[in-house]
């Protein structure tokens, strides 16, 4: 089990991109890419109903002994890693009230409290997504929990404390970014609905000043030293838009894609469009080489020497539909949480990484 735990801890260190969006008929969507070079054994799509026990700050390996335990107020659907207990650790997800969000890697900047505050509830960083989706109806309640009740604790899970920051969106279209650094806790309550990895959210927003010239309209004819330059290709309005896989570049691309991409008229068109948007910030296997892979164990047979977009998840706050694709299988799959809420049993759905093709002949 020790190797298994180490693998699960490593998968919490994945890079990512996330964005909120909405459709022309008022549907609110949230999507994310999960970028890493592996996927922990036991990672799947999970649904848990209300009143499911869950952990917030285990004092030791999660055996069920000595853990601080709560029960969920709301049902949750999302992708996470299964433990021996009732509730998985969610990387991202959505609850039955339409609150959506997830965790993203925040290397070199994340810092959490080492002191105990008896007036606050200690939450281990990888368990914050589960806690907030289990407890909060909307972004306003997320902000209140973070300001008044929660202490992000330097509590190891599987032997490490992954550096994380978070983004949440609700069905009113409000977004919040949560970052904990040495200087303290930072909440960006009027967030623009875009998040990638390090540096922090405020740095990324300031960096957009370097790309103020980008627009959706081509630049026209210019005369330079009496020489007439006539445009001979389309897309010149986006010249200079960065195309690499770095976190700053992905943030810039998502910010302008969200601004200019045509919104879907309904949920189906919006979801399809959001998958296209996330494709513009995805990692193809082979483009981002991992410098130090480490020991490859039996459990890590699927490990590759490249970071790549392991999966993409998209969800809708109004319909409570959860969509996903994997790197190997680009067919969009969907689970309707409204149906699961009627049954109120814990459910697990495989990611089904094997490719599926629609053969017409």
Nearest-Å Rg of the Cα atoms of the chain is 21
Over range 41-66, report the average pLDDT: 76
Cβ atoms of 198 and 108 closer than 8 Å: yes
Give percent above pLDDT 70 in the chain. 89
Tokens of 183: 């200087």
Cβ atoms of 122 and 116 closer than 8 Å: yes
Cβ atoms of 29 and 271 closer than 8 Å: yes
Is 228 strand, coil or helix?
A: strand
Cα separation, 13 vs 163, in Å, equals 7
Largest CA distance in the chain: 80
Q: Is the pLDDT of residue 6 over 80?
A: no
End-to-end Cα spacing for the chain: 47
Q: CA-CA distances (angstroms) from residue 291 to 125, 305, 351?
A: 26, 8, 27
Instruction: Identify the weakest region by mean pLDDT among 63-77, 97-111, 309-323, 334-348.
Output: 63-77
Phi, psi angle pair for 250, to nearest 5°? -65, -40
DSSP state of 257: H
Residue 242 within a domain: no
- Domain of 285: which CATH number? 3.60.60.10
- Residue 123: which of 201, 70, 197 has the closest Cα? 70
pLDDT band at 82 (very low <50, low <70, confident <90, very high): confident
Looking at the annotation, which residues are catalytic? 16
pLDDT band at 20 (very low <50, low <70, confident <90, very high): very high
Cβ atoms of 344 and 49 closer than 8 Å: yes
Cα separation, 24 vs 34, in Å, equals 27
Residue 228 within a domain: no
Phi, psi angle pair for 292, to nearest 5°? -125, 105
Per-residue pLDDT, 63: 38
Residue 66 within a domain: yes
Residue 51 within a domain: yes
If you average pLDDT over every residue of the chain, what do you get? 89
Residue carrying the six token digits 């494709």: 279
Q: CA-CA distances (angstroms) from residue 124 to 52, 67, 121, 326?
A: 18, 12, 10, 28
Q: Is the pLDDT of residue 7 over 90?
A: no
Phi, psi angle pair for 63, to nearest 5°? -100, -5
- Residue range 157-201, pLDDT digits in tens: 777 889 999 999 999 999 999 999 999 999 999 999 999 999 999
Tokens of 356: 């599926």
Residue 213 within a domain: no
Q: Is the pLDDT of residue 90 over 80?
A: yes
Residue 168 within a domain: yes
Tokens of 267: 């949920």
Is 178 strand, coil or helix?
A: strand
Cα separation, 130 vs 72, in Å, equals 9
Q: CA-CA distances (angstroms) from residue 146 to 30, 59, 76, 130, 193?
A: 21, 21, 20, 14, 18
What is the arrangement of strands in the sheet containing 43-48, beginning at the earlier edge strand? 184-188, 175-181, 164-169, 100-105, 89-95, 76-81, 43-48, 347-349
Is 289 strand, coil or helix?
A: strand
Per-residue pLDDT, 14: 57
- Residue range 207-256, pLDDT digits in tens: 999 999 999 999 999 999 999 999 898 999 999 999 999 999 999 999 99
Q: Look up the domain containing 165 and give its range.
A: 2-199+263-349
Question: How many structural domains compose the chain?
Answer: 1
Residue 209 within a domain: no
Rounded to the nearest 10 degrees, what angle do helices 247-260 and 267-279 cross at? 150
Over range 329-356, report the average pLDDT: 92
Residue 50 within a domain: yes
Q: CA-CA distances (angstroms) from residue 229 to 213, 225, 232, 233, 238?
A: 19, 10, 9, 12, 18
What pTM, to 2 d.p., does this model score?
A: 0.91
């Amino acid at each position: 089990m020790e190797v298994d735990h180490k693998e699960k801890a490593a998968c919490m260190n994945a890079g990512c991109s996330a964005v909120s969006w909405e459709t022309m008929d008022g549907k609110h969507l949230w999507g994310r890419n999960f970028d890493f070079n592996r996927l922990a054994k036991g990672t799947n799509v999970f649904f848990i109903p209300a009143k499911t026990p869950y952990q917030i700050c285990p004092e030791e390996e999660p055996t069920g002994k000595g853990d601080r335990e709560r029960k969920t107020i709301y049902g949750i659907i999302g992708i996470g890693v299964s433990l021996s207990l009732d509730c998985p650790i969610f990387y991202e997800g959505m609850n039955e009230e339409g609150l959506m969000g997830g965790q993203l890697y925040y290397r070199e900047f994340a810092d959490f409290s080492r002191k105990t505050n008896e007036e606050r509830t200690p939450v281990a960083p990888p368990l914050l997504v589960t806690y907030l989706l289990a407890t909060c109806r909307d972004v306003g309640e997320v902000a209140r929990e973070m300001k008044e009740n929660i202490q992000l604790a330097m509590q190891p899970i599987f032997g490490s404390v992954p550096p994380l920051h978070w983004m949440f969106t609700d069905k009113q279209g409000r977004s919040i970014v949560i970052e904990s650094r040495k200087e303290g806790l930072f909440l960006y309550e009027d967030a623009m609905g875009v998040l990638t990895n390090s540096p922090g959210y405020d740095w990324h927003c300031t960096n957009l000043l370097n790309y103020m010239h980008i627009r959706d309209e081509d630049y026209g004819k210019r005369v330079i030293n009496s020489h007439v330059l006539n445009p001979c290709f389309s897309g010149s309005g986006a010249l200079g838009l960065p195309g690499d896989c770095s976190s700053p570049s992905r943030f810039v691309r998502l910010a302008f894609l969200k601004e200019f991409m045509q919104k879907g008229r309904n949920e189906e068109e919006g979801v399809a469009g959001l998958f296209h948007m996330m494709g513009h910030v995805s990692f193809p296997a082979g483009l981002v080489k991992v410098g130090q892979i480490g020991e490859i164990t039996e459990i890590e047979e699927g490990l590759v020497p490249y970071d790549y977009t392991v999966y993409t998840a998209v969800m809708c706050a109004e319909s409570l539909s959860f969509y996903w694709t994997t790197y190997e299988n680009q067919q969009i799959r969907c689970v309707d949480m409204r149906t699961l809420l009627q049954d109120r049993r814990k459910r697990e759905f495989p990611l089904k990484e094997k490719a599926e093709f629609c053969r017409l002949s």
